[in-house]
């Protein structure tokens, strides 16, 4: 990557920082970069740039999963888990926040993320959360693999009850509506250009349901009409329900 450096900050493990720099193909430095910097220090890994700093922190989500609030989350409402320990795949994991909500609802969640920098931030946030007594059980149900889910879901050929897709929305939200985390992370991400491959790979997992997060007025992913939609103020969840027996690789109806 040419717009990012890995910086060895205070309290960083030099070997780990060097391994990270090699993994993402970025220079290892002692100073922050001109554009983006993956800072490694005693607090873990954070992303710096454009006057902002971002570090994954699952404890920020605790208020959303406690005191009976979790069922009111739109995603959980869309997933409607009737049993616990169901299997879910989050095939566009990002910083794993939605996967965390699913894990809090009792799903055993496989996460895939292909962006190497986002993957490093996610892995670091998960490692820290595993040491937090309030987070470790939930994060313990999250299993992360770095790589392209369009390939991995087919290769692994593991079944799941639910596949969740939240690829980058094609047209950007208005910048005023995008929070600090998204502003920084969006500098790294490419909008989804392989919608059909992603949808077909999700179907190949033979789920009972696929949930796709979309912008309120966005087109259906890969032009596939959902069984039903749950609509919020800024986003919607398109839900594709598959009758038993589960399908093999056939896509939902294309419009």
132 binds ligand SAM (CB under 6 A): no
Pick the stretch among 18-26, 64-72, 86-94, 225-233 that binds ligand SAM (CB under 6 A).
86-94
CB 189 within 8 A of CB 117: no
Strand 28-29 to strand 162-165: parallel, antiparallel, or no bridges (unpaired)? unpaired
Query: Least distance (Å) from ligand SAM to the CB of residue 181?
Result: 9
235 binds ligand SAM (CB under 6 A): no
Query: Least distance (Å) from ligand SAM to the CB of residue 115?
Result: 4
204 binds ligand SAM (CB under 6 A): no
CB 111 within 8 A of CB 166: no
37, 149, 204, 224: which one contacts ligand SAM (CB under 6 A)?
Answer: 149
DSSP string, 1-52: --SEEEEE-TT--HHHHHHHHHHHT--EESS--SSEEEEEETTEEEEEETTE
97, 124, 200, 238: which one contacts ligand SAM (CB under 6 A)?
Answer: 97
SS3 106: coil
166 binds ligand SAM (CB under 6 A): yes
Classify each residue of 102-125 as buried b or exposed e, where b means 16 or more C-beta atoms within 10 Å of its C-beta.
Answer: bbbbbbbbbbbbbbbbbbbbbbbb
Query: Least distance (Å) from ligand SAM to the CB of residue 10?
Result: 28
Burial class (CB in 10 A: 0-12, 13-18, 19+), 194: middle
132, 145, 189, 235: which one contacts ligand SAM (CB under 6 A)?
Answer: 189
**Terminal Cα distance for the chain, rounded:** 38
Q: How many CB atoms lie within 10 A of CB 221?
A: 23
Binding mask 103-122 for ligand SAM (x = CB under 6 A): ---------xxxx--x----
55, 74, 148, 170: which one contacts ligand SAM (CB under 6 A)?
Answer: 148
Which is closer to ligand SAM, CB of 8 or CB of 200? Answer: 200
Query: Least distance (Å) from ligand SAM to the CB of residue 74?
Result: 12
Binding site for ligand SAM (CB under 6 A): 91-92, 94-98, 112-115, 118, 148-150, 166-168, 189, 192, 198
């Amino acid at each position: 990557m040419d717009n990012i450096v890995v910086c060895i900050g205070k309290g960083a493990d030099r070997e780990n920082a060097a391994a990270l720099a090699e993994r993402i193909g970025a220079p290892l430095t002692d100073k922050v970069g001109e554009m983006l910097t993956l800072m490694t220090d005693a607090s873990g890994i954070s992303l710096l740039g454009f006057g902002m700093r971002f570090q994954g922190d699952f404890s920020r989500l605790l208020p959303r999963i406690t005191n009976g609030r979790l069922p009111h989350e739109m995603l959980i409402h869309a997933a409607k888990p009737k049993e616990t320990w169901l299997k879910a795949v989050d095939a566009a994991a990002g910083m794993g926040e939605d996967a965390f909500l699913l894990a809090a609802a009792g799903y055993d969640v496989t996460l895939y993320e292909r962006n190497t920098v986002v993957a490093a931030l996610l892995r670091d946030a998960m490692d820290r959360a595993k040491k937090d007594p309030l987070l470790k059980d939930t994060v313990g149900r999250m299993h992360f693999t770095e790589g392209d889910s369009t390939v991995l879901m087919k290769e692994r050929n593991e079944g799941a009850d639910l596949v969740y897709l939240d690829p980058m929305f094609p047209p950007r939200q208005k910048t005023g509506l995008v929070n600090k985390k998204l502003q920084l992370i969006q500098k790294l991400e490419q909008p989804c250009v392989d919608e059909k491959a992603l949808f077909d790979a999700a179907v190949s997992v033979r789920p009972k349901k696929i949930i796709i997060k979309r912008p309120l007025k966005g087109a259906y992913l890969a032009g596939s009409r959902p069984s039903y939609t749950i609509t919020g103020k800024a986003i919607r969840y398109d839900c594709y329900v598959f009758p038993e027996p589960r399908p093999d690789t056939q896509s939902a109806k294309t419009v």
